[in-house]
Structure 1
Amino acid sequence: MTHQAEAKDKLRCRFSVWIGLLASLVFMSTQLAHAESLPPTVQKALRQARIPASALSISVVPLQGKGRAFHQHADAPVNPASLMKLVTTHAALDLLGPAYEWTTEIRALEAPANGILQGDVYFKGYGDPKLTMERVWLLLRDLRARGVREIRGDLVLDRSYFRLPVANKEFDDDGNQPDRPYLVTPDALLVNFKSLRLSVRAEKGEAVASLDPHLPEVGLENHARITGTRTCERWPDELEAKVEDTGNGVKVMLAGEMPAGCAAVRHIALLDHQTYTASLIKTLWRESGGIWRGGVRQGEAQAQAQVLATSRSPALPLMLRDVNKYSNNAMARQVYLTLGAALGRETDGPDTPSRSNAVVRRWVASQGWSWPELVLENGSGLSRNERISTRHLTDLLAHAWRGPWAAEFISTLPIVAIDGTMRKRLVGEPLAGEAHIKTGTLKGVRSVAGYVRGQNGSVWAVAAVINHPYAKVGGKTVLDEVLRSVGMRKAAR
């Protein structure tokens, strides 16, 4: 090759390199032009809250109308708090179906005769998430309607439908308030959320307090006083209810002040599951005029025991409304465990939680999804360990939107400025009534996810999660700005 030919080859090579670099720069500039940054209002809210943008994970996906998706830190495994309920509830609708109901049964080996039921009576639970005191009363009324007035045998609580680990770890909420109903652990025979209603009212210059239901194992010592220094409108409920173990039960000690004419109600969860459930059943039976001669124990109903009365829960979608609209942790955990109890396999693990985990993961895989970051502990989000990405949350929302039970699922979510945990947010704003949003709250976590109606007929799935120590202070403001910005998005024409 001549010197002149070599020079031409070098020139062609350099020219090719420059063309390649130029093409790369054009491509990069095009990508940057199309890439979105956080809306200025969201950036401002983050600065004011002293939360770095890196602590905010967002995914926004168009569902109706053409539009461009927006993702920021969308693949990071984040603690979603109660947004994990979206996974549990959508999986439950898909796997159990909208007609699914829970049952609770009263069984016995002998049929009643002459108003007397001889032998043990079994209460068998199948994980009903909302077996309220009223429904237990109706169940006992059905037994009374069969002519039973006296039972001569033990009350046997059959809680075997859920196989729970012996060392069932309870959630530490850092608040030293173990009597809060949202901390109630699951049980196959969960009754009335294991809770009592503490009512206090000012009457004739005194603070009158009562507990409902009135159980013999729970005492009440009232030291609350009436004060005339404030009005009800300016009175935050400052009454303090301490719980003391008495050896054979507990005592609630009420203290504090309340203005004249005021009233306060709170719910407290006391006693262990077996003690509470047995006491409530026997108390309601006694109040109905029945007699029960026998003790209390735990056991499994024998196969030959006949069903004397049955209580059926509302259908699954109605139960899921309480789970998502009011972020009911106890109900979410019951639903999650029901998946394992009803659909789990022996090979999935020795207990119901491990089987529930396996059932949900099989369901995720059956949709063609790969969620390597997913960590499930109890399916409610009441966990320091659960993880998911916002990208996968919007994948789930999009799947639910296009699925056969879309209406049932969407109706379980809080409506902005109207009900549930979104009732007091964005009131009087354009987004009021235009979005269904699930919220999440934990120490260091604030989150939202759901469906937002945007401009010119568009609908968007959104998931936004803040994991940061300052989330409690300014997280809600940041997330409200995120929702406002999604409401302003337009579909491409």
Structure 2
Amino acid sequence: MMHWIGLCVWLCATLAHAALPGYVQDALTKAQLPADSVAIVVQPLDGSAPLIQHHAGKAMNPASVMKLVTTYAALEALTPAYRWKTEVYRNGSVNQGVLEGDLILKGYGDPALNVTEFWRLLQQVQQQGIRQIKGNLVLDNTVYMSEVSQRPVLDDEPLRAYNASPSALLVNGRNTSFRFSLRQENASPRVMIAQEFELPQISIVNLVQPRKGVCTDWRADLRYDVHPQPDGAVTVTFSGSLPDQCDERYLELSVMSDTQYAFFTFKKIWQQLGGQFLGGLVIAATPPNTSLVTSWWSPPLDIVVRDINKWSNNVMARQLMLTVGLEAGLVPVEEASAALAVKETLRRRGLQFPELVLENGSGLSRNERISAEHLAQLLVTAYQRPVMPVFMASLPILGLDGTTKKRLAAPGSQGMAYLKTGSLEGVSGIAGYVQDSLGRRYALVMLVNHPRASAIRPVQDLLLKRLIEGP
């Protein structure tokens, strides 16, 4: 009898301790968000009972918070020292700097092959004695199944860079960054548009006019249309208006296919390096009896995960999940099998989440699901693992960098939490680690699925401040 009385007392105390605090309930009411649309877990990392457990077991869409699952599993499966390779082959002889055949680039899903890295790769090729190519450029993407190029399109903006689909040979994320600025001409402002990495095959038609106003919602009246040309080039027409109080603003678009973008980038850099190339583009597997020219190795995974989590890079996260599948022996790989490889990695760490739905691993999905309880369990497990320093350092630091740079930047809160954020229309989430004023640390997860999910931010900030301030 005394045993059951003690158990009931403990259980009641735990439930009371874990209930939704009144200040959170009041903030939800003020934000016009029903409590059943929100899942919250605050779990002390010292192993004591949760401070808050609210709808903890409910399967929720986490948006980009799902990147925590992908990056943690990848760090465990691949190790923080993992590097991607890109191979360069030739299928002809080289005589006095002239390649009598094709140059072949074979990709293995490097998510960090930006313009600078690509320039260094091609410089390395020329240092191997190839200056002129008489054949074609062959791009080999065959380690990915063709299905991975089918992108989930959100927000009805298929050309936005965050909607870019993976590619085994992804150069610069297939991303063209358009820079908008205003210049005074004859005492009147004029809108200027330029490419950050300029490709001559991308032409800009600028019909944007300046308008009076502040720059809070500068995209409200800005429109773009992309017109492909028969030769693979594109014309991008911008119209609408830009507030005259804006300084520089950027719009990231993917206006070309992955192969066309890689081809035109190759042509530009190869010429800049002093090489000659008059061939065309061929998309095919690497032929037999070719000779390896050189191999390029990416930065290590411990650097790549920072780009993924701090800036919530969708296509890099998708490539990372596919890499987990590749290294599990799934060649060619596609997202469904890669998701199973991620789940198996989690299972080996004692993390079995029956409700987990992984579509592409980035959170760019209407189908992905996980519970707040299991996200918190993942955070606690990661904190106890050797990969913890890399994993935690990859998260945006509250009030200092990444997607949380402008949140709670006052001295009392700044730097006191490492948090991954996520948002889609009708979805908002935060998850990560919080330290209070007494040095105690917590795993925090808050997920919201509701048409008014964007109204949750003041509630998130209030909970963060109360946790940081401590008792």
TM-score relative to the length of structure 2: 0.91
CA distance in structure 1 between the aligned counterparts of 2:295 and 2:223, rounded to whole angstroms: 39
Structure 2 CA distance for aligned equivalents of residues 80 and 260 of structure 1: 35
Match among 49, 62, 77 for residue 95 of structure 1: 77
Cα shift at 1:49: 1.3
- Residue 180 (structure 1) aligned with residue 160 (structure 2): yes
Offset of residue 106 of structure 1: 1.7
**Counterpart-to-counterpart distance in 2, 1:102 and 1:60:** 36
SS at match of 2:403: helix
Is 1:207 equivalent to 2:191 in the alignment?
yes
8 Å contact kept, 1:159–1:188: yes
User: What amino acid does structure 2 have at the position aligned with 1:252?
Assistant: V
Check conservation: 1:64, 1:457, Cα contact below 8 A: no
Structural mapping, 1:307-386, within 5 Å:
307-345=292-330, 351-386=333-368
The answer on whether the counterparts of 1:224 and 1:257 sit within 8 Å (CA) in structure 2 is yes
Q: How many angstroms does 1:53 deviate by? A: 1.0
Matched, 1:240 2:220: no
* CA displacement at 1:150 relative to structure 2: 1.0
Q: Is 2:281 the partner of 1:296?
A: yes
Structure 1 counterpart SS, 2:224: strand
What's the CA shift for 1:159? 0.6
Alpha-carbon shift at residue 277 of structure 1 (Å): 1.2
The amino acid across from 1:253 in the alignment is T
1:122/1:155 contact within 8 Å kept: yes
Q: 2:371 aligns with which of 389, 395, 404?
A: 389
Aligned runs of 1:78-477 on 2, under 5 Å?
Answer: 78-165=60-147, 168-174=149-155, 176-203=156-183, 205=185, 206-226=190-210, 229=212, 236=218, 238-248=221-231, 249-258=233-242, 259=244, 262-345=247-330, 351-428=333-410, 430-472=412-454, 474-477=455-458
Number of equivalent positions: 462
SS of 2:370's equivalent?
coil
Residues 419-456 of structure 1, C-alpha deviation per residue, up to 9 Å, x if partnerless? 11111111215222111011111111111111111243
- 1:272 and 1:292 map into 2 onto residues whose CA distance is 21
Secondary structure of 1:143's aligned partner: helix
Q: CA RMSD in A?
A: 2.5
CA contact (8 A) 2:433 2:443 kept: yes
Q: 1:108 to 1:39 in 2, by over 3 A?
A: same
**Structure 1 SS opposite 2:58:** coil
Task: Give the SS at the match of 2:238.
Answer: strand
Superposition deviation, residue 26 in structure 1: 8.4
Please give the alpha-carbon distance, in whole angstroms, between the structure 2 residues aligned to 1:233 and 1:364: 44
Matched residue of 2:147: which SS? Answer: coil
Task: Give, in whole Å, the separation in 2 of the partners of 1:149 and 1:25.
Answer: 84
Letter in 2 for 1:190: L
How many percent of aligned residue pairs carry the same amino acid?
35
- Residue type matched to 2:98 in 1? I
Q: Cα 1:432–1:65, aligned 2, differ >3 Å: closer, same or farther?
A: farther
**CA 1:79–1:142 in structure 2 vs 1: closer, same or farther (change >3 Å)?**
same
Q: Secondary structure at the match of 1:244?
A: strand
* Matched AA of 2:89: R
Q: How far 1:464 moved relative to its partner?
A: 1.2
Q: In the aligned structure 2, how far is the partner of 1:180 from the partner of 1:471? A: 22
Q: Match for residue 14 of structure 1? A: none
User: For the residues of structure 1 that align with 2:317 and 2:431, how far apart are their CA atoms?
Assistant: 17
**Equivalent residue in structure 2 for 1:57, among 26, 39, 45:** 39
Amino acid at match of 1:243: V
Distance 1:236 1:260, change over 3 A: closer
Q: Deviations over 1:278-324 (max 9, x none)?
A: 11111221233321132211111235422223322111010000111
2:146 & 2:3 partners in 1: Cα distance? 61
Whether the 8 Å CA contact 2:93–2:101 is kept in 1: the answer is no
Q: Which runs of 5+ in 2 are unaligned?
A: none
Q: Which residue of 1 aligns with 2:28?
A: 46
Q: Hey, what's the Cα distance between the residues in 1 that align with 2:335 and 2:217?
A: 43
CA separation of 1:261/1:466 partners in 2, compared to 1, >3 Å: closer, same or farther?
closer
Q: How big is the shift at 1:62?
A: 1.4
Quote the Cα distance in structure 2 between the aligned partners of 1:30 and 1:137: 63
1:261-290 CA-to-partner distances (Å, cap 9, x unmatched) read 944332211111111111111122123332
> Which residue identity lines up with residue 184 of structure 1 in the other structure?
A
2: CA distance between counterparts of 1:297 and 1:465?
46
- The amino acid of 1:242's aligned partner reads D
Q: Bigger CA drift: 324-333 or 111-120?
A: 111-120
Residue of structure 1 equivalent to 2:459: 478
Seen in structure 2, the aligned counterparts of structure 1 residues 208 and 368 have a Cα distance that, compared at 3 Å, is closer
Picking from 36, 53, 56, the partner of 1:74 is 56
- On the 8 A contact 1:194/1:276 being kept in 2, the answer is yes
Is the contact made by 1:149 and 1:290 (CA closer than 8 Å) also made in structure 2?
yes
Report how far residue 341 of structure 1 moved: 1.2
Matching residue's letter, 1:54? D
SS at match of 1:165: helix
CA gap 1:65/1:398 in 2 versus in 1, 3 angstroms = closer
- Is 2:434–2:468's contact at 8 Å kept on the other side of the alignment? yes
Query: Contact 1:65/1:459 (CA < 8 Å) preserved in 2?
Result: no
Change (3 A) 1:112 1:462: same
| In structure 2, distance between residues paired with 1:366 and 1:241 | 47
Amino acid at match of 1:319: V
Distance 1:377 1:260 in 2: 41
Preserved CA contact (<8 Å) 1:116 1:151:
yes
Encode CA deviations 1:115-174: one digit per residue, 9 max, x unaligned.
1011111011110111111111111112223342210111100111222427x5422313
